[in-house]
Amino acid sequence: MSTDKVSLVLSSGGARGLAHLGVIESLVNDQVEISEISGSSIGSVIAVIYASGELNVFKDWIFNLDKMGVFSYMDFSVSGQGLLKGDKVFNQLKKIIPDRKIEDLNIPVSVVTTNISQNKEEVIRSGSMYDAIRASCSIPGLVKPFVRNENEFVDGGVLNPLPINALQSKDNIITVNLNAQPIQKVKNLSGEKSGFYSYFSIFRDFFINQDVKKSLGFYDITYRSVHLMQNQLANFQINNHKTWMNINIPCDSCFPLEFYRAKEMVNLGSKIYYQTKKNY
């Protein structure tokens, strides 16, 4: 590599975000200094945990999660604002990684979220790191919005899945886009593995029977449409900023709630990083 210091941008993308760990570890192994980092949704989680110096603690925890372990963190909500409250998993993270102020972390971090009360993108660079990532990870319809300063916040990926613009330094930018083109061409929008079925894959072995699995074409179209939209938003960011390296993780490499595939996704992130590096 021709540089030893980079600014890193980590995109939204659910459990695919564990590939961010593989990219970061590979950069560290290559003795590349990450001088600044920005993230949206799961990208903000990995950004903050890396900047806190607790990446290995997080890895030890996430590597030990199986399907039932992931399911155990699903705190269902009756509020009507989202299927899940989203508190249980963050309470567990606080037990293993203490909360800190973002401005006190080891490197500058920018967390991107969507202020749904004011209909705008918002960048958080100060205050509780858990409040920031909780605000950035509230997937509409799945996790209830997070209330901060009397405003409601939803997932940063709604408006900006790849927040290059949030970086304060624009030198040697590396992006990791989790919403890149799929590995396989989609042939049938009404097949058995619908997007809805896949999105909620953690629930399927518990609640969804075979007849329902085969009849979710509407949700399948919605799921894939969201990925197309997010990839276009990511490309808009890339086309409007000078980046040094763009690492693309296929959107069908892992579904959003499959956090039990952590080791596989970390290895994939590292593999694609080194494949991409050959071109630079």
pLDDT digits (tens, 9 = 90+) for 70-104: 999 988 876 767 778 888 999 999 999 999 999 99
The position carrying tokens 């596989």 is 264
For the chain, percent of residues with pLDDT exceeding 70 = 84
Contact 99, 90 (CB under 8 A): no
Domains located in the chain, CATH noted:
5-183+242-277 (3.40.1090.10)
Per residue, the 3-state secondary structure of the chain, as one string, reads CCCCEEEEEECCCHHHHHHHHHHHHHHHHCCCEEEEEEEECHHHHHHHHHHCCCHHHHHHHHHCCCHHHHHHCCCECCCCCEEECCHHHHHHHHHHCCCCEHHHCCCCEEEEEEECCCCEEEEECCCEHHHHHHHHCCCCEEECCEEECCEEEECHHHCCCCCHHHCCCCCCEEEEEEEECCCCCCCCCCCCCCHHHHHCHHHHHHHCCHHHHCCCHHHHHHHHHHHHHHHHHHHHHHHCCCCCEEEEEECCCCCCCCHHHHHHHHHHHHHHHHHHHCCC
Work out the end-to-end distance of the chain between its first and last CA atoms, rounded to an integer number of angstroms: 7
Q: Which residues are catalytic?
A: 41, 155
Please give the C-alpha separations between residue 198 and each of 15, 46, 256, 261, in angstroms, as whole numbers: 12, 23, 8, 14
User: From first to last of its 280 residues, what are the pLDDT tens digits of the chain?
Assistant: 566 899 999 999 999 999 999 999 999 999 999 999 999 999 999 999 999 999 999 999 999 999 999 999 988 876 767 778 888 999 999 999 999 999 999 999 999 999 999 999 999 999 999 999 999 998 887 888 999 989 999 999 999 999 999 999 988 999 999 988 876 554 443 343 433 344 455 454 544 444 544 444 555 666 677 778 888 999 999 999 999 999 999 988 988 889 999 999 999 999 999 999 999 8
- d(Cα 89, Cα 102) in Å, to the nearest integer? 20
At 178, the amino acid letter reads L
Confidence (pLDDT) at 140: 85
Query: What pLDDT, in 10s, does the model give residues 101-139?
Result: 999 999 999 999 999 999 999 999 999 999 999 999 988
